[in-house]
Amino acid sequence: MRNVLFISHGSPSLTISEHPARDFLVELGQRLPRPRGALVVSAHFETPTLTLGGAAQPQTLHDFHGFPQVMYQQRYPAPGLPDIAERLSAQLSAHGIEARVDSKRPLDHGIWSPLSLVWPEADVPLLPVSVPMALGDNERLALAAQLGRFAEREELWLIGSGSATHNLGDRKPGDARPDAWAQAFHDWSRDVAERGDLAALGDWQRRAPHARHAHPTPEHFLPLLMAVGALEGAPMTTLHESFMFGNLSMLCLAASATADTLAA
């Protein structure tokens, strides 16, 4: 079974703040079966071509500034998957996909901040996967399909951590209602994922409403694109919808098979 999640990770302060998305992630962890491990595509791990985190015990990276001191004291000591990172790199290279292993890559906050709510005991081994910025969107979809097949063979999950909308320059007070542009892009992203519409995703910057305003830079959308791509056209199910700061979408999605385990 191909288990895939997309999590909008929001602000790092979600770990210490009250918000419906925080409540959802805590409950999600209580309901999900515990995976053997997970590949995690993070918006905060940008590289030209694909890089895989291969640390045996990754450090916790506090890649943000201006937050309360307690945020910098948090640690998420989830183990890594170095042997699997090397095996995945070799298999991708055999398919003509450039991939390297970074044996010191820490867990950035796109990984540890949401997953510390889902799996607070840090007992699920994690393999960080970069967003390959030099590739085109259709190349990323093809890469994601390879990642999905590998994860399924290895009985691992694939998780994308980003945000369905991400324009921090236009954020509003915390209790503001969603901006119309943000709601429109959020709805488009949700509907495309629910259809498994790879053609629309491959052309999202032209087809999606307000795409350039929703994502002045694309790195937070690409984990969603790769999560859908990992399912090769199979539909996803919406698990949660809310907003922070008036336009930061907290959309969360799962492969339909993964969502069925929650219903069960």
- The rounded distance, in Å, linking the Cα atoms of 66 and 33 is 36
Residue 75 is predicted with a pLDDT of 96
Class of residue 64 by CB neighbours under 10 A (exposed 0-12, middle 13-18, buried 19+): middle
Domain of residue 140 covers: 4-263
Q: pLDDT band at 170, cuts 50/70/90?
A: confident
- The rounded distance, in Å, linking the Cα atoms of 130 and 182 is 25
Check whether 263 has a pLDDT greater than 80: no
Class of residue 209 by CB neighbours under 10 A (exposed 0-12, middle 13-18, buried 19+): middle
Task: Locate all alpha helices (DSSP H) within the chain, ordered by sequence.
Answer: 20-31, 69-72, 82-94, 109-118, 137-153, 180-195, 198-202, 204-207, 211-214, 222-229, 256-263
Q: pLDDT band at 156, cuts 50/70/90?
A: very high
H or E, element range at 98: none
Instruction: Give me the helix-helix angle, 222-229 and 137-153, nearest 10°.
Output: 50
- The rounded distance, in Å, linking the Cα atoms of 229 and 140 is 8
Q: pLDDT band at 194, cuts 50/70/90?
A: very high
Check whether 107 has a pLDDT greater than 90: yes
In sequence order, what are the residues at sequence separation of 6 or more whose Cβ sits closer than 8 angstroms to the Cβ of residue 9? 43, 109, 110, 113, 114, 161, 162, 163
Residue 63 is predicted with a pLDDT of 87
Check whether 36 has a pLDDT greater than 80: yes
CATH classification of the domain holding 234: 3.40.830.10
Task: State whether residue 219 is helix, strand or coil.
Answer: coil
The owner of tokens 């509907």 is 191
Domain count, the chain: 1
Check whether 185 has a pLDDT greater than 80: yes
Q: pLDDT band at 259, cuts 50/70/90?
A: very high
What is the model's pTM? 0.96
Q: pLDDT band at 71, cuts 50/70/90?
A: confident
Average pLDDT score, the chain: 95
Percent of the chain with pLDDT over 70: 99
Q: pLDDT band at 183, cuts 50/70/90?
A: very high
Check whether 215 has a pLDDT greater than 90: yes
Check whether 7 has a pLDDT greater than 80: yes
Check whether 161 has a pLDDT greater than 90: yes
Nearest to 98 by CA among 51, 43, 46, 149: 51
Q: pLDDT band at 95, cuts 50/70/90?
A: very high
